[in-house]
Amino acid sequence: MLNKRWRKFNGELIDQAIVDAVEEVLKAESEKGYRLKVCIGSDSQVYGKHIDFATVIVFLREKRGGFMFIHNERKANYLSLKERLLAEVSMSIEIAYEICDLLDRYHIDLEVHADINTNPQFKSNSTLTEAMGYILSMGFAFKAKPDAFASSVCADKMV
């Protein structure tokens, strides 16, 4: 996602590499005395012949709210549900991998959220084991619904 366009929630474009933008945030927030946690998640929505994806980096200030950076992408609709959910996870892992060294340097906890239901009654549950294995094998903390707010709430609203 190095060359992909990111924006802030207010629509302002981020005109620098996402790693640099995240580092600016980490410096500014630590100077203000905030303790942060970062959660990354993606969601998608099928619209006929295309799929819209949203990936978010959510910055949570301990007891002080939060904010996020957003990236949107459109792809042709040729994916099954399982492939689409794993594509969401892959997008989240891609950005998590880009910024994880930076977060380690600033001692910031990172979670990768998957928009996959832990309840077997839902179709997305069929992908839970693969998504969890993918995220955990990359060394990231994993959250699924109902605890995966970065994907199931934040990214969901940005699709």
Domain contains 55: yes
Per-residue model confidence (pLDDT) at position 1 = 45
Closest among 89, 111, 103, 141 to 22, alpha carbons compared: 103
Q: Residue 149 sits in which domain range?
A: 6-158
Strand 50-61 to 36-47 pairing: antiparallel
Per-residue model confidence (pLDDT) at position 31 = 95
CA 6 to chain centre: 12
* CA–CA dist 28, 20 (Å, integer): 12
Give the count of domains, the chain: 1
CA 4 to chain centre: 14
Domain contains 1: no
pLDDT digits (tens, 9 = 90+) for 73-95: 999 988 899 999 999 999 999 99
Is there a contact between 131 and 144 (Cβ–Cβ < 8 Å)?
yes
* CA–CA dist 114, 131 (Å, integer): 7
Per-residue model confidence (pLDDT) at position 111 = 98
* CA–CA dist 116, 151 (Å, integer): 9
Domain contains 102: yes
Per-residue model confidence (pLDDT) at position 4 = 83
Domain contains 80: yes
DSSP letter, residue 123: G
Domain contains 150: yes
Domain contains 75: yes
Domain contains 149: yes
In which residue ranges of the chain is pLDDT below 70? Answer: 1-3
